[in-house]
Each structure stands twice: as structure tokens, then as C-alpha cells.
Amino acid sequence: MLHWIIDQKYTVGIVLGAVFGMLARLSMLRTDYRQYPTYPHGKIIHISLGVIAAALGSVAVPSLLDKNYTAVTFLTVAAQQFRDVRNMERQTLSKIDSMELVPRGATYIEGIAMVFEGRNYMVIFTSFVTALFSIILAWYWGIVAGIIAILITNHFKSGKSIHHIADVQTANVRMDGPNLYVNDIYIMNVGLDDTREIIRKRGIGLILIPKNKNCRVTIANIGQRQALLHDLSTILGVYRDEGEPSLLPLAKLDMADGRLAVFLLPQEMDVEKARKVLLQSPVLESAVRMPSEADVQQAGKEGA
């Protein structure tokens, strides 16, 4: 058996690479409160793509070692296919989003589509590393490299959450005549008496306080705000039906200091749980801004 493994090192390397690539994809595949990917058909699609990505990554190693560089060009074809998958996810989620009481928003959808494309590349990385160590060194080193690669991919599978960029505090919801406030931040004008009464009974408020000016610009992003409202509404429910715009959750900025006020009418009246949901909500990559890194900022520091 040992002699066969040594003689068939390419086969062993490809098999181990494909196996660890699939394990990496399975470890990154989760259906959470967003219900995406859906079970079971959504998962079947992504697992199938994971098998393809794992096979591509493992087969690339023997091609490189045999100096068959032309064969490696199929990776560019795979990259194009994964980009097409990203477009498919974007279109699917955009159509579904129009049916949501509180939509995800285009920025959130783009982030989800980007994640699923990127995870296929992580699978290729895992299978490539596993196959490389298996063929060059030994099969057991391939297993070690595969485990380390899976740990690396799982480290990078999730980005930052709101608690990295802002503090979240509970706040009072109050009506000043027809005007709705969360603490001292104006939200909107409420004209109907029935709506005002619902807000008094069921309204909860939260305040996000950015940790620096980069974070201030990030939470001001419209797409990031919409993602926060969607997550809150998905987990806590929302006390509204179609055709009731006055009961829609809202997030408004304090223009003076960059604080973000969040107003919500949830089905589950638990303000502390709402605070925890906000803290764990993802920071969208498309919403991240870093004005402190601009050249003008650096020039100002040097002049000082």
C-alpha cells in the first residue's frame, strides 16, 4: 500500500486536494437567519461549484510540475465561470428583494454575491496547497497543509461586524407633536394619530456612535444603513404590512457628530436583543470608506 502511494503520488495529491477543497467549502457553507443559501437546492448549487473549484485547484499542481503551463490556463476559464455565478446570485437576490417588507438593498446583495464568488477561490487555494505538499513532500504533509489551509480560509470567510466600528446604545423613542425623535435625533413627521399611537406603544430606538471618522463615513452609507434595518427586521420581525410606509424602519444621521439613530417597530419587543443584533450585523465591504488614508490627510500631517 505504501509503495502504491509513493508510485501514484500525483493521484494521491489530486484526491487529497479535492477532498480538502470540498471540506473547505462545506466549512464555509452556512444557512443562517438570512436564509441564504436556501436549503436544500441553494446548497446543492454551491456544493457542486465547490467540487469543480476543488478539482481545478488540485489538478493545477501536476500540470505545473510537468511544465504543462498551457493546461493551467483553464483556471482563467474557471474564474470567468465564477464571475458568472456572482452575476446570477446578484440577479436572483435582486428579484427576491422586491418582495421583502424591509429590503436588503443593492449594497448588501452585492456583498453576498461577492462572498460566494470569493469562497470558490478559497476552495481553489485550499486544494492547490494540499495537492502541492502531498506531491512534493508526502501525503501526510498534504493533510497537515490542508488542515492549515482550511483554518486560514475560515479565518477570512467573515469580515468585520458593527461592533468593530461603532458602539450601540439603547435610546428613547418620543413624539413631539407630529415629529418623531430617537433621543435628540429627528426621524420623520408622523401625520396620522393611529400611527403615532402604534409608535408610542411599539417603537424602539438605538443609537450607533462611530469610533472614528472612517467609521463615521461607513455607517453613513445608505447601503450599510439598509443592511442594518434588514437584519433587525429579519430577526426581530417588523410590525407592518405592505402599503404602510409610515411604519417602515428608518435610520437617520445626526449631521453634527455622525451618530446614527435607528427606529424600528419590531414584532419582538426586546430592545437589548435588538442592540445585540446590531452589534453582530456585518460591515459591508462596499460601504467601507477610509478618508483618513487620503493623500490630502497625509500631507496635512506632514505639514503639522
With pLDDT > 70 as the criterion, what percentage of the chain qualifies? 88
Note whether 140 and 6 are same-domain residues. yes
Q: What is the pLDDT of residue 293?
A: 62
Confidence class for position 304, pLDDT limits 50, 70, 90: very low
Q: What is the pTM of this model?
A: 0.77
In a domain, 172, yes or no: yes
Q: What is the pLDDT of residues 16-38, one digit of tens each?
A: 888 888 888 888 877 655 555 66
Same-domain status, 96 and 186: no
Which residue range is the domain that position 255 belongs to?
162-290
- Binned at pLDDT 50, 70 and 90, residue 303 comes out as very low
Residue 302: pLDDT over 60? no
The C-alpha angle with vertex 256 and arms to 250 and 257, in degrees rounded to 5, equals 80
Whether 199 and 237 map to the same domain: the answer is yes
Give 295's pLDDT tier (boundaries 50, 70, 90). Answer: low
- Last residue of one domain, picked from the residues 135, 156, 177: 156
* Sequence-ordered list of residues with C-beta below 8 angstroms from that of 227, at least 6 positions apart, any chain: 104, 105, 107, 108, 111, 281, 282, 284, 287
Residue 7 confidence class, pLDDT cut points 50, 70, 90: low
Return the H-helix or E-strand segment holding 250. Answer: strand 250-253
Which band of pLDDT confidence, cut at 50, 70 and 90, is reported for residue 207? very high
Task: Provide the residue type at 9 as one letter.
Answer: K
What's the gap between Cα 33 and its chain centre?
A: 12
Higher pLDDT, 285 or 132: 132
Do 120 and 209 belong together in one domain? no
> Grid coordinates standing for 142?
498534504
Tell me, what's the pLDDT at 106? Answer: 83
- Do residue 7 and residue 109 come from a single domain? yes
**220-256 confidence digits (pLDDT tens):** 888 888 888 888 888 888 887 776 777 788 888 888 8
Q: Check whether 68 has a pLDDT greater than 50.
A: yes
* Residues comprising the chain, all counted: 304
For the cut 60, the answer to whether the pLDDT of residue 268 exceeds it is yes
Query: What is the pLDDT averaged over residues 142-157?
Result: 86
115-119, 135-139, 177-181, 285-289: segment of lowest average pLDDT: 285-289
- Predicted confidence at residue 34, as pLDDT, reads 55
Q: Is residue 299 part of a domain?
A: no
The whole-number average pLDDT for the span 56-68 is 81
Chain centre distance of CA 301: 34
Asked, for residue 47, whether it belongs to a domain, the answer is yes
- Inside any domain, residue 227: yes
| Domain assignment of residue 244, yes or no | yes
**Residue 172 and residue 146 in one domain:** no
pLDDT in tens, 78-105: 777 777 778 877 888 888 887 788 888 8
pLDDT at 297: 57
Query: What's the number of domains the chain is made of?
Result: 2
Same domain, 25 and 56: yes
According to the model, what pLDDT value does residue 141 have? 85
Examine the domain organization and report whether 150 and 167 are in the same domain: no
> With contact defined as beta carbons under 8 Å apart, do 206 and 271 qualify?
yes
Domain termination residue (choose one: 156, 189, 218): 156
Measured at the alpha carbon of residue 276, what is the angle toward residues 288 and 30, in degrees to the nearest 5?
Answer: 70
Q: Domain end: 137, 156, 175, which one?
A: 156
Enter the C-alpha cell of residue 279.
452589534
Question: Same structural domain for residues 221 and 134?
Answer: no
